[in-house]
Structures are given as C-alpha cells and as structure tokens.
Amino acid sequence: MVPDYWEQACRQLARRDPVFRKLVKAYPGITLRSRGDAFQTLTRAIVGQQISVKAADSIWLRFVSAVEVVKPGHVLKCESDALRATGLSARKVEYLQDLARHFKDKLIEEKRWPEMSDNDIIADLVRVKGIGRWSAEMFLIFYLLRPDVMPLDDIGLQRAIQTHYNNGEKLTRGEMQAIAEAWRPWSTVATWYLWRSLDPVPVEY
C-alpha cells in the first residue's frame, strides 16, 4: 500500500525546500510502502535496533528461516537457543518473545489504532519490552503510514540532516528540531527522502 498523501507531500516539500526539490527528482517512482502486517513490522523494528541496515537484513533472513512463518505462535514455539543462533542478542530474543505474547494474548488492540493519535499509539506500544519510542515511530511510519512522524533519535536521519543542512558538521538536537519543523505536516516523507540520500535502496519493515 502506498500513502495517498505522497504526491501532495512531495510537491509541497519540493516547493519550500531546495534539498527536497533535488531529492524528489533524484528518486522518482519509489515511495514508502506498508507491508500490511503489524506483528512483522514491529518484529523487524526490534531486530534492527542499534545495528546497521546490512546487519539487520542478514539477521532477519536467518530469523525468518528459523521461525518459518513470522507469526506470534511460530516465534513462541521456536527455542530461545535457535533464535540466538540467528545472530539475535539474548535481550532481543526476550523482546521478540514478549511481543509475540502480547499479540497472542490480544494485549495489543489493533482495531483502535486508526482512531488514536501518534503519541497515544506510541504510549500503547512502549508497554511491550524492547519497544521504545524509536521502534514505535518506525511502526507509525512503515505500518500505519502516518504522514508527520519525525524520528529525531534515528542516527541515519541525524546524519542526513547534518549532511544537507550543515555541511556534515554536528548539530544539537534542538538545532535539528528547528530545521525539521519546516517539514510539517509531512515529516514522514521528508525523513524517507533523507534516508534515501544515504541509502538509495528503501528500507521496509
């Protein structure tokens, strides 16, 4: 699924900011897409925490092979040692098992998400072990396709802002926040294009 706001957001960002005028032209025909599976999106976010995209992709492929189907029941059936053998840390195995239990026991109510604000969804998700604000923001972007998510804790986004707006020199969080305010209400789209400027291949969760 492609966000219905994408073209409008690209036009507005390109009109107001020369950085996006260039990036939108540089990456035509590709957009943010949702895989349409909440559990898989959150699972991938946990696997990808604090490691490179390349390492996360490698571990993910081994993880999928170990569990066979990325569903809560399959994750819970898989032995902890088998999950560790995929390259996951003991802590991430614990997080994934807790996430699977939350879904299996219906402690996460997906039906309520369309009516909830971004911050309310983040508050709901961070009750699961291992899901902090960054993982919840990845979920808002890659599963719910919310248009105005600004994940300023993301190292890739920080690096891209510094590259495009400060000649690669370090910026404080407050300075990055001030720059990013101009992207609203399309922070998700701006973030996606800035990620592309570092890695042309779109990441999907």
Residue 19: both structure tokens together: 């950085």
The better pLDDT of the pair 54, 158 is held by 158
Residue range 39-46: mean pLDDT, rounded:
91
In the structure, what pLDDT confidence band is assigned to residue 88 with cuts at 50, 70 and 90?
very high
* pLDDT of amino acid 62: 97
pLDDT of 1 > 90? The answer is no
Q: 38-142 in CATH: which number?
A: 1.10.340.30
* pLDDT of amino acid 18: 96
Is-contact 184 13, C-beta < 8 A?
Answer: no
How far is the C-alpha of 8 from the C-alpha of 13, rounded, in Å?
9
Residue range 123-146: mean pLDDT, rounded:
91
User: For the CA atoms of 147, 135, 161, 173, what is the dihedral angle to 10 degrees?
Assistant: 110
Cα→Cα distances 18→14, 41, 75, 158, 177, Å = 6, 32, 46, 18, 18
When the pLDDT of each residue in the chain is averaged and rounded to a whole number, the result is 93
Place of tokens 């890695």: 199
% of the chain at pLDDT higher than 70: 99
Q: 6-33+149-198 in CATH: which number?
A: 1.10.1670.40
* pLDDT of amino acid 33: 86
Cα of 61 vs its chain's centroid, Å: 18
pLDDT of 201 > 80? The answer is no
Express each pLDDT in 137-188 by its tens digit.
999 999 999 999 999 999 999 999 999 999 999 999 999 999 999 999 999 9
38-142 matches 6-33+149-198 in CATH topology: no
Structural domain boundaries in the chain: 6-33+149-198, 38-142
* pLDDT of amino acid 82: 97
Contacts of 17 (CB under 8 A, 6+ apart): 182, 183
How far is the C-alpha of 176 from the C-alpha of 193, rounded, in Å?
16
pLDDT of 39 > 80? The answer is yes
pLDDT of 119 > 70? The answer is yes
